[in-house]
Each structure stands twice: as C-alpha cells, then as structure tokens.
Amino acid sequence: MTPILITAGSYRFRARFESSAPKTVALFRTLLPYRQKLIHVRWSGEGMWIPLGETDFGLPFENHTAHPSAGQILLYPGGISETEILFCYGGVAFASKMGPLAANHFLTIVEGTENLKALGELVLWEGAQDILFDLDDVER
C-alpha cells in the first residue's frame, strides 16, 4: 500500500497502512490530504488525539486494540465516546471518562519513531499542533 507522510508540528513521520483494517484504511484514504489539530489525550497516557465529535463514518471494529504501542495510530469509530483518531507516542491504555475503549489500528509509523516522544512532549507542554496526513512524495 502507498506510504503516508505525516507532518506534525516540526516533525515528519512515514507510516504504512495496516492491511488488517481494510475498511478503516479505505475510508481514511478518501480523506487525504487530511489536516487537523493534534492535542494531548486526557485519559489514556502517552498519546495525542484528534477529536471528531459525533462524526459517524459507519465503520465496524476491525484490528482493534485498547493497548496500542508507540507509533500506532487508531481510529475510534464512536459509540460509547466521541469519534477520534488516537496517535500513540508511548504507553497507552485507551480510555475515556466512560472507561476502557478499543479502536481500529489502521496506521503504523515506520520512520521517525525517534521523534515520537519529542512530539508528544511538545503537544503536552505547548498545546495543539497542526498535523497533516498525505500520500508520501515518493509515491507521487
């Protein structure tokens, strides 16, 4: 699959789509290029998120996890809590004020992982950062 270039704050990462989440991947590809703000999570640990409110993508759970690793990016399709994208930079136990959640692991950082913690700390201490997901320039 086509690699994805992620620019967040002053950092750049390359990621690959997860074939175990084909519906989530197909949906996300239709959103590219995707620009948002990345903020620090409130409940889950070393992660950042993109809150999407009541957005209903009509996605089922697939390749879902409640304990993602650093460099994994998940899409929570909504239900108990609001729809969101979760960007993990360290230890995460995915949750909301309603309790534990699981979300679709659809992207994994494969280059730039050494900057994940620095991005997480930037977002934690300096606030929301712009983020852009786009097709990797190599593939254009």
In a domain, 78, yes or no: yes
Long-range Cβ contacts of 112-115 (<8 Å, 24+ apart) = 112/6, 112/11, 112/12, 112/13, 112/14, 113/13, 113/70, 113/71, 115/11, 115/13
In a domain, 140, yes or no: no
Walk along the chain (140 residues) and give the pLDDT tens digit of each residue: 689 999 999 999 999 999 999 999 999 999 999 999 999 998 888 999 999 999 999 999 999 999 999 999 999 999 889 999 999 999 999 988 888 999 999 999 999 999 999 999 999 999 999 999 999 965 44
The domain in which residue 48 lies consists of 4-135
CATH number for the domain harbouring residue 91: 2.40.100.20
